[in-house]
Structure 1
Amino acid sequence: MTRPASRIELCREACEVIASATARHLPRETGGILLGYGEDAHIVVTHALVVDGPGASTHRYVRDDVQANALLAAFLAPRADDDPTGYVGEWHSHPAPSGPSPTDVAAMRATARQHEVPLALLVHAPGAQQSFFGLITRCQRTGRVTSKPAPVLMPPSRSEALGPPPDGAIRCDGPV
Structure 2
Amino acid sequence: MTRPATRIELRQEAYEVIASGTAQHLPRETGGILLGYGEDAHIVVTHALVVDGPGASTHRYVRDDVRANVLLAAFLAQRADDDPTGYVGEWHSHPAPSGPSPTDVAAMQATAREYDGPLALLVHAPGAQQPFFGLITRRQRMGRVASKAVTVLPPLSRSEALGPLPDGAVRRDGPG
The two structures share one fold, judged by TM-score above 0.5: yes
Unaligned runs of at least 5 residues, structure 2? none
Query: How far did 1:111 drift?
Result: 0.2
Inter-CA distance 114–173: structure 2 relative to 1 (3 Å threshold): farther
Partner of 1:144: 144
Rounded Cα–Cα distance in structure 1 between residues aligned with 2:79 and 2:20: 25
1:154-173 paired onto structure 2 within 5 Å: 154-173=154-173
Matches within 5 A, 1:2-81: 6-81=6-81
Q: CA deviation at 1:69?
A: 0.2
Shift of 1:141: 2.8
The Cα shift of 1:116 comes to 0.6
Q: CA deviation at 1:166?
A: 2.8
The TM-score normalised by the length of structure 1 is 0.94
Instruction: Report the CA distance between 1:54 and its aligned residue.
Output: 0.3
Q: Percent identity?
A: 84
Q: Give every structure 1 segment of 4 or more consecutive aligned residues whose post-TM-superposition deviation is greater than 4 Å.
A: none
Query: What is the deviation of 1:40?
Result: 2.2
Q: TM-score, normalised by structure 2?
A: 0.94
Structure 2 residue matching 1:152: 3-state secondary structure: strand
Give the Cα separation in 2 of the matches to 1:30 and 1:88.
18
Structure 1: state its 5+ residue gaps: none
In 1, Cα distance between equivalents of 2:5 and 2:116: 19
| CA distance in structure 1 between the partners assigned to 2:158 and 2:173 by the alignment | 26
Amino acid at match of 2:48: A
2:131 match: 131
Report the CA distance between 1:4 and its aligned residue.
7.2
Question: In the aligned structure 1, how far is the partner of 2:118 from the partner of 2:9?
Answer: 14
How many residue pairs were aligned? Answer: 174
CA distance in 2, matches of 1:162, 1:169: 14
The two structures, once aligned, show a CA RMSD in angstroms of 1.6
How far residue 172 of structure 1 moved from its aligned partner, in angstroms, is 4.7
